[in-house]
């Protein structure tokens, strides 16, 4: 139980991280120099730009997210197998309607009906 909660917490944090890293990245057409001005992107991120670090970080986060997804699926499968082992009746028989079942009928008075 505690492992499931820990994996779920890591899973949510990884999901937030993946979304953040994807939103930080720019498209291939946009240069990092446009935001830093001129050739400043080469001094900040090196000659390859910001894409290399961000893409690798995103790939690692996505791989970890995939692993936690599989782990949570495995835990859910184990729980379902444990629940299937419990002897639970599949259907409940309805008691026949007889004289011991009270039925009340509420009739509305004629004055409560709208008149045309």
**What's residue 73's pLDDT?**
95
Query: Who has greater pLDDT, 115 or 94?
Result: 115
List the structure tokens of 92: 């409940």
Q: What is the largest CA-CA distance in the chain?
A: 91
Q: Region 8-23: what's the mean pLDDT? A: 95
Residue 2 lies in a domain: yes
The whole domain housing 59 covers 1-18+48-84
**What's residue 114's pLDDT?**
64
Domain count, the chain: 1
Q: What is the pLDDT of residues 34-79, one digit of tens each?
A: 555 555 555 555 555 556 888 899 999 999 999 999 999 999 998 8
Please state, in angstroms and rounded to a whole number, the distance separating the CA atoms of residues 16 and 114.
58
At residue 107's C-alpha, the angle toward residues 102 and 111, to 5°, is: 165
Residue 34 lies in a domain: no
Q: Region 14-35: what's the mean pLDDT? A: 78
Residue 36 lies in a domain: no
In order, the DSSP letters of 28-86 are: TTS-THHHH-TTHHHHHH-TT-SHHHHHHHHHHHHHHHHHHHHHHHHHHHHHHHHHHTS
């Amino acid at each position: 139980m505690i492992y499931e909660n820990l994996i779920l917490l890591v899973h949510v944090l990884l999901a937030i991280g993946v979304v953040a890293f994807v939103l930080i990245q720019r498209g291939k057409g946009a240069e990092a120099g446009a935001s830093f001005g001129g050739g400043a992107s080469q001094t900040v991120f090196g000659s390859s730009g910001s894409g290399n670090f961000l893409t690798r970080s995103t790939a690692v986060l996505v791989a970890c997210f995939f692993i936690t997804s599989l782990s949570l699926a495995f835990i859910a499968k184990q729980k379902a197998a444990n629940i299937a082992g419990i002897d639970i009746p599949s259907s409940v028989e309805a008691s026949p309607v007889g004289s011991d079942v009270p039925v009340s009928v509420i009739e509305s008075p004629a004055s409560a009906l709208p008149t045309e």
